[in-house]
Structure 1
Amino acid sequence: MVLAELRTARGISQEKLSFEAGVDRSYISLLERGHKSPTLDTVFNLCCALEIQFDQLARLLQAKLEELNDLGHDAR
């Protein structure tokens, strides 16, 4: 969720993000849908491609997890 929101807010396609992060486009799709978990290296590459600091991303992820938890959703 957070990855897709950041990507679309920056007007970047999955293909462009995948190229800039050095991963396959289908992998970006899997990450956005929560079907895969990235390695730490991939997270840092995504941060660079999205021009966001790692700690910013961590705060956004924490906020999304808290929001989902408050709504009673499974946080996977």
Structure 2
Amino acid sequence: MKEFIEMLKKIKPNVDFENEEALVDDGILESLDIISIISEIADKYGVVIPSDEIIPDNFNSAIALYELVEDLK
């Protein structure tokens, strides 16, 4: 998980990914951020996130996103 958080911080350094639970709902992550995250996950973990999984619930927290990646592996 620590490595995953570090990856997210490289994309959006000023965000507290360890504690934030409304990244999308509060507008912290924008569409281009999400695209960057999806691309980085594909490159780093070899996981393709299907379009039907690109929903706020899966991107509102680092934990939710990490769990999605683990489920898709």
- With the shorter chain as reference, the TM-score category is 0.3 to 0.5
Greater C-alpha radius of gyration: 1
TM-score for the superposition, normalised by structure 2 = 0.43
Task: Point out which structure has higher relative CO (alpha carbons under 8 A, 6+ apart).
Answer: 2
The structure that is helix-richer by fraction is 1
